[in-house]
Structure 1
């Protein structure tokens, strides 16, 4: 009986995801291009422009500042697109096309609704991350630094965290202007404070405490370690931290779906 329930749960989640994928697949290049602009600007401005005058983090394993920020750019791009794409997708269905109400009437577990939407956000994030990884490989020539299983696992977890957050914000906001507030007060500050441009190990204790409250910090340091450091020095604590956050957001999202009044 449990296996049958699990089978229905998985099939319902995939069904919800497939509805988003049918819309997403015709805009793949648009999604990739929109998420690649900011990382490319940061790479050119900070990595190449200021890179020669900035020393990389002492614990990062990178030989120059360009190499140092490239994993951070992967983390940054996956965060922005996973969050923004998921939020605007749900807002569009709720506020404009008005198709969201029909989905709420379906006999589907609220957690399956959240997982399906989150999977679509993960795919969006991975598409953009793949483009940034290609850029990173072209700049460094280190193919297996960015294409190893541990690196990809962390990217997927990061996409899960921020697409899960995007689902919750998409269900909460009343207008697109409200999305801008979340972006300005959550995503943009985290982009600069989440260890993407600096090594948090060098910060004072007070600032380090704040930085380590941000999930992007764990992604950035884990990606940097997966790319450049030996396996024995990988911060394994980052994986359960990201996983726990993603699971907590999933149950919160399921609760929001179960009580949504659209």
Structure 2
């Protein structure tokens, strides 16, 4: 009797692994993340400093340059001056940029250049575990870089408790999760690095300026306010600013479930993409 050939160890078929258990998915996610961490830990200083350039330029140009003029004309809604007002936005901006860009380029490098991505697809784990593992690596990248910006913010303001409190760090982690999850999906879909540049130019760069990093979204006209509040970075910027300078009674608690739901939705989409990936 002829033996039947064994099926390939891949989950690219339309049927994902049956009846996955949540503890198993979480354990496999940590395993995937550990593989990513082994590559990241040798470049901690490089990753932490990569996302500092743009926030520092904005801090000096807007916070110290333009901010001096604005402080004489008006008082910001929160914070003692305009520099303090934009610092939480700079933290949000740096975490978004590196979580998205680092994750996207990492996956693109594995898919298009080193050709090692096929090894990941052969792992006998649930697609959600693959997405979460990659997303955790993106969160780590974002926290490293935003940690450097937080250090700069503390040096400028001297307010350690404002930038190192649990609510501030929770919002920051959720923001990293949202954009790392988005980075995983884009990294799986693009066909070239030029495509990554298009997503960055038409999605990340506009969001950097429209996501409430430099202004108070509540002061906008209704039409613009609708657009701005469709961006996840807006909820992070507003939430971080409130967590840093306002009382708990003034904190926009709606920002937490919105970012969490966005991260979960992106995780579902990323798991689906992994289960149908054909690299």
1:222 corresponds to 2:218: no
Does the Cα contact within 8 Å between 1:60 and 1:225 map onto a contact in 2? Answer: no
Matched positions, count: 259
Structure 1 unaligned regions, length at least 5: none
TM-score for the superposition, normalised by structure 2: 0.91
Structure 2 unaligned regions, length at least 5: 1-19
Write out per-residue CA displacement over residues 190-248 of structure 1, whole angstroms, 9 at most, x where no aligned residue. 00000000001110000000000000000000000000001100000000000000000
**1 CA distance for matches of 2:186 and 2:24?**
27
1:99 corresponds to 2:125: no
**2 CA distance for matches of 1:21 and 1:58?**
43
**2 CA distance for matches of 1:21 and 1:123?**
8
Specify whether residues 66 and 101 from structure 1 end up closer, same or farther in structure 2 by C-alpha distance, changes over 3 A only.
same
TM-score for the superposition, normalised by structure 1: 0.97
Q: Give 1:130 shift.
A: 0.6
The more displaced of 14-23 and 47-56 is 47-56
Which residue of the other structure, out of 199, 221, 236, is the alignment partner of 1:204?
Answer: 221
Question: Counterpart of 2:173?
Answer: 156
Does the Cα contact within 8 Å between 1:160 and 1:246 map onto a contact in 2? Answer: yes
Which residue of the other structure, out of 91, 104, 107, is the alignment partner of 1:87?
Answer: 104
Q: Which has the larger radius of gyration?
A: 2
Question: Counterpart of 2:137?
Answer: 120
Q: Give 1:58 shift.
A: 6.7
**2 CA distance for matches of 1:68 and 1:57?**
12
Which residue of the other structure, out of 41, 49, 58, is the alignment partner of 2:57?
Answer: 41
Q: Give 1:105 shift.
A: 1.1
Q: Give 1:6 shift.
A: 2.5
Question: Counterpart of 1:23?
Answer: 39
Write out per-residue CA displacement over residues 9-31 of structure 1, whole angstroms, 9 at most, x where no aligned residue. 11110111011111111111111
Write out per-residue CA displacement over residues 45-72 of structure 1, whole angstroms, 9 at most, x where no aligned residue. 1000111112599774211100000000
Question: Counterpart of 1:32?
Answer: 48
Q: Give 1:8 shift.
A: 1.6
> Which structure dedicates a bigger proportion of its chain to helix?
1
**1 CA distance for matches of 2:258 and 2:205?**
21
Specify whether residues 65 and 234 from structure 1 end up closer, same or farther in structure 2 by C-alpha distance, changes over 3 A only.
same
- Output the aligned Cα RMSD: 1.3
Write out per-residue CA displacement over residues 61-114 of structure 1, whole angstroms, 9 at most, x where no aligned residue. 211100000000000000000000000000011001111111111111000000
1:240 corresponds to 2:240: no
Write out per-residue CA displacement over residues 130-181 of structure 1, whole angstroms, 9 at most, x where no aligned residue. 1000100000011100000000000000000000000000000000000000
**1 CA distance for matches of 2:179 and 2:77?**
24
